[in-house]
Structure 1
Amino acid sequence: MRITGFRTLTTVLDWGRPVGDANGVLADGRTPVPIVLVDTDEEITGVGLGPHLDGEDPRGVTALYDRMLRRTFKAGHAGAVFGTIGAFDTALWDIKAKAAGEPLWRLLGGRDRRVPAYASGLDIALDDEELVAVYQAYADRGLRAAKLKGGLDVDQDRRRLALVRDVLTDAGRVARPALMLDANETWTRKQAVRHVCELERTIDLTWVEEPVRRWDADGLAAVSRGIRASVASGENLTGLEQFRPLLAAGALDVVQTAAVWGVTHFLRVAALAHAHDLPVSPVGNTPAGLLHAATAVPNHLAGELQDLEPPVGVRLAHHVEDGAFILGDTPGAGVDVDEHAIRTAHVGHPAHNGDGPHIRPPAAGHRLFAAPYDDTISTHPR
C-alpha cells in the first residue's frame, strides 16, 4: 500500500448558540473544522480531523510521524504546523486500522470500547436558563461530570457551578457530581488561588483548567499547592519537550492533550504522564481518534464531550450512552466524511469579527475588579 495524495476540506460545527470562554465568544456559534483526507493506491482513504508522505506506506504511522517532525524542526513544530502533522497522523492511523479491518481501538490494543466522558458546553455566554437546558441535555445522556467556562467573576462562577451541580445531582441521584472550571489562562497566580479558594468554600471542584499561562511551570505548581482542586493543563502544549518542565515542577495533576495534535502525540504524552503516576484526559469537540487511543492506555481519566451533534457532513460511529462514549466496530477511527454534503452545503469559514475564544484579550491577567460578562464576553445584556 502506498500514499497517492491528499485532499483538504473545511466543514463547520454549528452549535446553534453562542460558544466561548473567558477570552471571548463566537456569537453565531459556528466553528470551522478542517479535515484532511489521505488517499492510497488500495482505495482506502484516511480521515484526519503533511507534507512528504507521497509514495510512503501509510501503515508505518509512528515512523512517518517522526519524519514529519524532522522535516519541520527548523520552523518549529508547534501551532498550525503541529496541528497539520496531527491531522495527517490521525488519518494514517485511520488507514492502518481500515487496512487491518479493525476499529482503531482494537488495533491499538484496547479491550473496552466504553470511554468515560464529561460534559463541556463552552458556555460562558449563556444565561442561567440556557445553562440549565444545555447541561440537562448532557445529563439526559447519563453524564455526571461537567466542565464550565469561567474565571471572570467569582459570584457568577459560584452560581453557575451550583446550577449545573443541581442538574447533574437531580438527574443521576448522585450526591457529588464532578465539577470542573476552565479559566483559559485568564488569571495571574494570586488571582487563581484567591478565586478558586473562594469557590471552594461552597463548591467541590474536581479540577481547575489552565488557571495561568500554559508554560508557567512554577505558577501552575503554586496554584496546585494553594487550592484543594487538581490543576489540569496541556491541551495547548505541543511535543514532549513542552511537558517535561511542567511535570518536573509538579505543575500538573491532570495531563491533557488536544485532539488536533494527533493520536501518536496522545499516546506519547499518556506514557510520559503514566511514568509520573498522573492521569491523562483528551480534549476537543470531535476527539474520535483520541477516544480510540484512550482505550489502550492505563491512565485515561475522562474524555471531553462538547457538542452532541457532529460537524456538517461528518458521521461518527460512536455514540454517547450512560455517561460514556461507546465506540463502534467500524474499521478505522469511525469517522465518515460526506464530501458532497460539505461542498453542497457551501460550508466555508464562519464570518467572525475578530473576537472569540481564540484571541487573548488585553485585560487577561490584568483585571483588578470582577468583569461579569461585559460586552466583549457575553451576548446577553445584564
Structure 2
Amino acid sequence: MRITEVEPLVLRLPDVDVTRADGTQDAFLVRIHTDEGIVGLGEADTSPYLARTMVEMPSSHSIARGFRELLVGENPLEIDRLWRQMFLGSYHYGRAGAALHVISAIDIALWDIAGKAAGKPLHELLGGARVGEVRVYASEVMPETPDEVRRIAERIVDEGHTALKLGWGPLGGDLRRDEELARTARDVLGPERELMLDGGMAYTVKSARDLLRRLEDVKLYWLEEPLAADDYGGYRRLSDAVSVRIAAGEADSGIAAFRALVEQGHIDVLQPDLARCGGCTVARQIAALAYERGVEVVPHCFSSGVGVAASLHFVATLDRPTFAEYSVADSPLVGRLLTEQFTFRDGKLTVPSGPGLGVELEQGLLERLRVP
C-alpha cells in the first residue's frame, strides 16, 4: 500500500469570536489517500491555515520539507518510521508547536488507515480496550456571570452528565468573582457530580493557592493549567502545597514536555491532546510514563468529533481510565460533523467499534464549512 495524496481540510464557522478561547470555531483535518482506496482521517487542534501551508508547501531543504512531499509514495502502515521522518523533515521549522500539531493529525490518519486495513478498531491496535464506554466531563468556556453558569450547569445535569469543567473566560481576573462562579456551578451540580476548573494560565502560584483555599469546601476534582505551560518550578510549588489535583499538558507536544511536567512539575493529571501532542504514537508514550509514575491521564479535546473519537479510543486502552473531555459548545463541528453521533448514556460515551477511528465525515456540512 502506498500514499497517493495528503489532503488538508480547513473548516471555519461563518462567524468566529476571537475573544473566546474556543477551539470549536474552526478546524484542521487531514485525509490521507492510498492506492488501495483506504482513506485515513486525522485532526490537528492548531491554526488551520498555518497547518495547511505546512502540508502543501514545497520543501526548502532536507530538514525544511513540506509534509505532502515527505509522505506521498510511502507505505502508510510504517507509522513509527514515518513519524520520525516527519519530525526530522520539519526539524528546521518544527520540533514543537504547529509542526507537531500537523504531525499529530497525520499520525492519527495513519493509525486510522492501519485499523481499516486490518479491519479492527483503533483501540485494538493501541493495545486493547479495558472499557467499552468512557466517562466524559462536559466542557465549556466559563461565562461572565453566575446566571450564565447556572444555565450551563442546569443543561448538563438535564442531559445526564456526571462532571463539568468550566475554564478560561474571566477566570483569574478577580478571585471573589472566580469563587462566586465556581460556587454557583457546585450549587447546581450537587455533591454527587465532579467539577473542574481550567485556569487558562491566568494565575500565579500564590493566587492559585488562594483560590483553592477559598474553594476548599467546593471539592474541585482538579484545577487545570493555572500557570504557563512550561512553568515547571511554579507547578512544583503549587502541587506540593495543595491537596487538589493539578492538571496540565494540553499545550504540549512530544514526550519530553510531559516527562518534565511529572518529574519537575509534580503534576497529578497529564492532559495530552492527541491532536497536538504527536498523535497516537506519542500518546502511547505518555500513557506508559503515567503508568510508571502513578499519575492520571485525561486527554484534552476541545475540537471536532474526529478528535473526540481518537480520545475515546486512547482512554479505553488506559490501565486506569477516568475521564475524556467532551465539549458541549454549540458548534456544528462538535455535534454534526460526523455521519453518526456518539452514543451517550449515564454520563459515558460508547467507544466507536468500526475499523480505525470508526467515524466518517458528513459531506454536506464539510463542504459548507470548508475554506478553499
Where does residue 218 of structure 2 map in the other structure? 203
Q: 2:195 and 2:337 mapped to 1: Cα distance? A: 32
2:3–2:71 CA contact under 8 A, matched in 1: yes
1:315 to 316, 339, 343: 339
Matched, 1:236 2:231: no
1:212 to 227, 233, 237: 227
What secondary structure is seen at the aligned counterpart in 1 of 2:71? coil
* Percent identity over paired residues: 32
Matched, 1:87 2:141: no
Where does residue 351 of structure 2 map in the other structure? 327
Considering only aligned residues, what root-mean-square deviation do their CA atoms show, in Å? 2.5
Distance 1:259 1:13, change over 3 A: farther
2:205 to 186, 189, 196: 189
Distance 1:13 1:329, change over 3 A: farther
Tell me how far 1:189 sits from its aligned partner: 1.6
Tell me how far 1:333 sits from its aligned partner: 0.8
Tell me how far 1:84 sits from its aligned partner: 0.4
Q: Which structure shows the bigger proportion of residues in strand conformation?
A: 1
Distance 1:180 1:340, change over 3 A: closer
Q: 1:165 and 1:348 mapped to 2: Cα distance? A: 41
Q: Which structure shows the bigger proportion of residues in helix conformation?
A: 2
Within 5 Å, give how 1:252-263 maps onto structure 2.
252-261=267-276, 262-263=279-280
2:316–2:351 CA contact under 8 A, matched in 1: no
Cα displacement string for residues 179-212 of structure 1 (whole angstroms, at most 9, x for unaligned residues): 1111111112222212222222x31111111111
Distance 1:334 1:12, change over 3 A: farther
Distance 1:57 1:137, change over 3 A: farther
TM-score, length-scaled by structure 1:
0.80
Within 5 Å, give how 1:257-336 maps onto structure 2.
257-261=272-276, 262-285=279-302, 286=304, 287-307=308-328, 310-311=332-333, 313-316=337-340, 318-336=342-360
1:224–1:252 CA contact under 8 A, matched in 2: yes
What secondary structure is seen at the aligned counterpart in 2 of 1:186? coil
Q: 1:95 and 1:140 mapped to 2: Cα distance? A: 38
1:58–1:95 CA contact under 8 A, matched in 2: yes
2:312 corresponds to which letter in structure 1? L
Where does residue 119 of structure 1 map in the other structure? 138
2:301–2:325 CA contact under 8 A, matched in 1: yes
1:19–1:123 CA contact under 8 A, matched in 2: no
Cα displacement string for residues 189-237 of structure 1 (whole angstroms, at most 9, x for unaligned residues): 222212222222x311111111111111110011112222111001111
Structure 1 runs not aligned, ≥5 long: 170-174, 350-382
Distance 1:78 1:57, change over 3 A: same
Within 5 Å, give how 1:329-344 maps onto structure 2.
329-343=353-367
What secondary structure is seen at the aligned counterpart in 1 of 2:141? coil
Where does residue 46 of structure 1 map in the other structure? 40
What secondary structure is seen at the aligned counterpart in 2 of 1:259? coil
TM-score, length-scaled by structure 2:
0.82
Tell me how far 1:323 sits from its aligned partner: 0.9
Q: 1:207 and 1:111 mapped to 2: Cα distance? A: 24
The total of aligned residue pairs comes to 335
Where does residue 239 of structure 2 map in the other structure? 224
What secondary structure is seen at the aligned counterpart in 2 of 1:152? coil
2:267 corresponds to which letter in structure 1? L
1:235–1:283 CA contact under 8 A, matched in 2: yes
2:283 corresponds to which letter in structure 1? F
2:150 to 112, 117, 132: 132
2:141 corresponds to which letter in structure 1? L
Distance 1:265 1:13, change over 3 A: farther
What secondary structure is seen at the aligned counterpart in 2 of 1:9? strand
Q: 2:17 and 2:181 mapped to 1: Cα distance? A: 16
